[in-house]
Amino acid sequence: MADINIVQDHQLTPKKAREAAQKVAEEMAAEFDMECKWEGDVLHFERSGVAGSLTLHKHQAQMEIKLGFLFSAFSGKIESKVAENMRKVFGAA
């Protein structure tokens, strides 16, 4: 299994950070056909071969993704795309 960990700083209010996280989740769900669900300030997502979470902190968003064997071959591309999306969504204050 390949692991991806991305931390993105932000200056958003808790409400805006959650809205931004929801945007990230919706894009991931659409692109990668994932199920997403909130537990407090942690958004869990999964599909066959992929599982992870997006945790909201006061001034950071932390994404952790575990990729199964088939997806591990694309870990670089997935990490790059997710990091870019998080910068776009959380970087805008």
Per residue in 50-70, pLDDT (tens digit) is 999 999 999 999 999 999 998
Quote the CA–CA distance of 24 and 45 in Å, as a whole number. 11
Q: How many domains does the chain have?
A: 1
Q: Model's pTM, two decimal places?
A: 0.86
The widest CA-to-CA distance across the chain, in whole angstroms, is 37
Residue 1 in this model has a pLDDT that exceeds 60 = no
What digits encode the pLDDT tens for the residues 19-51?
Answer: 988 887 887 788 778 889 999 999 999 999 999
- Enumerate the H helices of 1-93 as residue ranges: 14-32, 69-72, 75-91
Contact 17, 61 (CB under 8 A): yes
Check which CATH number belongs to the domain holding 46 and give it: 3.30.310.50
Q: At what angle do helices 14-32 and 75-91 cross, to 10 degrees?
A: 150
Contact 53, 64 (CB under 8 A): yes
Tell me which residue range forms the domain holding 50.
2-91
Res 6: pLDDT:
94
